[in-house]
């Protein structure tokens, strides 16, 4: 059985959701953040040297990094939630699968860090927010064209995009001014598998 090393309020919530969508059996091992630093506990280093979440263990393999875990699970599930057969849709799938962490998360993380720095942080946020807005406008334009990121069906790319867009709604200025993106968030949150993952994962303030 797959063991998910799950940190509260983190990227690993996506892996629980994906496992629920795929119907793969799994066990959750929960970890709480340090209340002062908000970092992952040292116990995670016993699972993987970086001490980060998510990490999964399956049949002796230890897999880290959310995107790598998503690809591993697609393969394990015989391609379900993977790339569509149409070449153009498949290219979109690969783009969004990697865009989530490679392009959209960095400005969100900058906002989080800068928000904790008095005075100078506020000035720097004014420079970062326009960068994030450009990304959010791009996402909005794409979701206005199709129901899911890759095309007509939900894929692992949508699961990967969930966390950064949830974070953007909480602290990055995403609101009803981008209706297609907000409708997409409402749609994923209504899915039974998403709700089941919330029940198993514990505290998650982004949903």
* pLDDT recorded at residue 120: 63
pLDDT reading at 125 higher than 90: no
Classify domain 2-81+193-201 by CATH number: 3.40.30.10
Phi, psi dihedral angles at 26 (to 5 degrees):
-155, 165
Q: Which architecture does CATH list for 87-191?
A: Up-down Bundle (1.20)
Average the pLDDT over each of 72-76, 98-102, 120-124, 127-131 and give the range with the smallest value: 120-124
Question: What average pLDDT does this structure show over 18-32?
Answer: 95
Give the integer Cα–Cα distance in Å for 156 and 176.
25
What are the extents of the domains in the chain? 2-81+193-201, 87-191
pLDDT reading at 10 higher than 80: yes
Among candidate residues 85, 196, 180, the one with its CA nearest the CA of residue 138: 180
Q: For residue 34, is the peptide bond before it cis, meaning its omega torsion is within 30 degrees of 0? A: no
Among candidate residues 75, 95, 93, the one with its CA nearest the CA of residue 84: 93
* pLDDT recorded at residue 111: 87
């Amino acid at each position: 059985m797959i063991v998910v090393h799950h940190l509260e309020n983190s990227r690993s919530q996506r892996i629980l959701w994906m496992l629920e969508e795929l119907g793969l059996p799994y066990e959750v091992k929960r970890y709480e953040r340090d209340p002062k630093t908000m970092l992952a506990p040292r116990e995670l280093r016993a699972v993987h040297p970086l001490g980060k979440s998510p990490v999964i263990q399956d049949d002796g393999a230890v897999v880290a990094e959310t995107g790598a875990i998503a690809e591993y699970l697609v393969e394990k599930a015989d391609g379900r939630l993977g790339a569509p057969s149409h070449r153009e849709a498949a290219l979109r799938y690969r783009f969004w699968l990697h865009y989530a962490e490679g392009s959209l998360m960095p400005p969100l993380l900058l906002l989080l860090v800068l928000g904790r720095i008095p005075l100078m942080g506020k000035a720097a946020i004014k420079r970062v927010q326009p960068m994030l807005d450009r990304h959010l406008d791009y996402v909005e334009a794409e979701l206005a064209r199709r129901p899911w990121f890759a095309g007509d069906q939900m894929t692992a790319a949508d699961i990967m995009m969930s966390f950064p867009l949830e974070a953007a709604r909480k602290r990055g200025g995403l609101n009803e001014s981008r209706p297609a993106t907000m409708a997409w968030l409402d749609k994923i949150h209504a899915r039974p598998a998403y709700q089941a993952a919330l029940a198993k994962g514990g505290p998650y303030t982004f949903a």
